[in-house]
Amino acid sequence: MKFINHYRWRAYPPSLNADLPAHTVDCPECGQRISLPRLKKGQEVHCPRCDHRIVGIGKNPYIAPLAYATASLILMAFVYSMTFITVTLGGITSILSLPSMMRQLIVLDFGFLAEVMFILTFGSPLIFLLCCLYVYLALLFDKAFPGLSYATRTLVRLRHFIMVDVFFISTLVAYIKLSSVAEVSLGAAFYLMFALALVLIRTSVSIPEHWVYYKINLILGRNAMGKSPEKCVCCSRCLYFREKTETTCGVCGADLYIRRPKSLSMSTAFLLAAMILYIPANLLPIMISSNPTVVQANTIFNGIVYMWEEGDKLIAAIIFSASILVPGAKIVLLIVLNLSAHYGLPASGKTMMKIYHFTDAVGKWSMIDIFVIIILMSSFHSHVARVVPGQAAIYFCLVVILTMLSAYFFDPRLLWDKFYHSETITNRPSENVPDTTYTYE
């Protein structure tokens, strides 16, 4: 009788090859074509022109993200089930956990803020971590799980919508504010949230998108590196070359283009909308606080002046930076970037890229004020003291989202195109020749 063994013995952990073969990419931030050598564990490559990190393979590329994601999930379970903050005012004690804070917002009919808080501090990190486990278990066991491409796409895109770190800092601000009027103690969930924020950042940076797409496609029986760079378009997201006839990338599913279509008009449109909403966000009251004797409606600026005069200079400075300086600076810098891409660069390409990265990185910190209001609202909702958000809170959230969209639609390669275009016209010696391929030794 013939015996067929369906089960292949596999050493555990499997001797997985983490190498990325030598290949060519176009830098997604400046468009420079770069020939990469074979990359091994612990190696990373930066663009020689703009210094953008093209890909970095970790020392434990298969295990580390799994370990970080598991640790984050365990921490999340504790953070969302334990006491976050306890507030006692006028003999009434509120013991708040994060789910009870969201419930409070819904009860008070501020569902929009509950959704914002739910998506940014719970929904996005949870789905991100589950996708991370799914994708990395598929990589580890070399198995084509169903919906693997979709899970990978979700994983790499959700990274920008995790704001646990912003919520943590907001709690500190709210704590200082609260402790001047009530008895406040921070619960175990607050301290664990600090650890969670750090491990989430670590998980996020341990996932090299370019490498993950290559390995996932190998499992799915496709070679992402099969196309010739000369006749194809380099996908701006996964950085593999695809046929010009494709509209969406066959490797990662993103839209395929050499430069983002309508980049400047889309970016400018979102920017104009943000500028218009920035006016009511600053003129209307953002927070209405009341007690049995007095009702006080504060705009962002009033609130800051009030805190400064009351002696809370540190919080006043933090709220001023997060609510006025950051969104204002972001709008001004996005105007500079859009005008530069249209009319020419006022500074070198590298300086302009620093401005671009700055606008991208600071955006989420504007949410501090909104999170502070959410925490104050959940803490003060009795007849003794009540805090509710004013109309400006919604306008302010929209300004943050619209400036993020404006930055998202802005294609930074347009800056470099303009830079080299003006270099050619004025015939100055250029720093780099744009069309040549850079080869790493």
The binding site for Zn ion (CB under 5 A) comprises: 27, 29-30, 32, 47, 49-50, 52, 235, 237-238, 249, 251-252, 254
Give the C-alpha distances (Å, rounded to integers) separating 383 from 168, 293, 311.
28, 11, 27
> Minimal distance in Å, beta carbon 246 to Zn ion?
10
Cβ distance to Zn ion smaller for residue 20 or 315: 20
Shortest CB 242 distance to Zn ion, Å? 7
Q: How is residue 36 written in tokens?
A: 């990469």
**C-beta of 303 vs 434, nearer to Zn ion:** 434
At 156, is the secondary structure helix, strand, or coil? Answer: helix
Least distance between Zn ion and beta carbon 232 (Å)? 11
- For residues 238 and 387, which CB has a smaller minimum distance to Zn ion in the complex? 238
CB 58 within 8 A of CB 40: no
CB of 200 to Zn ion, least distance (A): 25
Nearer to Zn ion, 152 or 282 (CB): 152
SS (H, E, C) 74-118: HHHHHHCCCCCEEEEECCEEEEECHHHHHHHHHHCCCHHHHHHHH
CB-wise, 47 or 76, nearer to Zn ion? 47
CB of 47 to Zn ion, least distance (A): 3
Residue that is written with structure tokens 């989420």 in the block: 364
**HSE of 109, CA atoms in CB hemisphere, 13 A:** 1
Residue 208 buriedness (CB in 10 A; 0-12 / 13-18 / 19+): buried
Residue 87 or 249 having the CB closest to Zn ion = 249
Whichever of 216 and 393 has its CB closer to Zn ion, that residue is 216
β-sheet bridge partners, residue 255: 248
Smallest gap, in angstroms, from Cβ of residue 216 to Zn ion? 11
Residues 170, 298: Cα–Cα separation, whole Å = 18
The sign of the torsion formed by the CA atoms of 213, 217, 223, 226 equals: negative
Instruction: Count CA within 13 A, CB hemisphere, residue 392.
Output: 23
Query: Shortest approach of Zn ion to residue 132 CB, angstroms?
Result: 19
Per residue, what are the HEC states of 271-304?
A: HHHHHHHHHHHHHCCCEEEECCCCEEEECHHHHH
Exposed / middle / buried, residue 4 (Cβ in 10 Å: 0-12, 13-18, 19+): exposed
Specify the residue, 49 or 159, whose C-beta has the smaller distance to Zn ion: 49
Q: How many whole angstroms separate alpha carbon 378 and alpha carbon 87? A: 10
Shortest distance (Å) from residue 27 CB to Zn ion:
3
Quick one: 29 or 369, whose CB is closer to Zn ion?
A: 29
Give one DSSP letter per residue of 346-391, joined into a string. Answer: SS-HHHHHHHHHHHHHHGGGGGHHHHHHHHHHHH-BSSS-EEEE-T
Closer by beta carbon to Zn ion, 179 or else 351:
351
**Ordered alpha helix ranges (H), 119-262:** 124-141, 148-158, 164-179, 188-205, 209-219
Given the DSSP bridges, would you call strands 92-96 and 44-46 parallel, antiparallel or unpaired? unpaired
Residue nearer to Zn ion on the CB measure, 242 or 381 = 242
**Nearest distance from C-beta of residue 31 to Zn ion, angstroms:** 7
- CB of residue 229 to Zn ion, shortest distance in Å: 14
- The CB-of-240 to Zn ion minimum distance in angstroms stands at 6
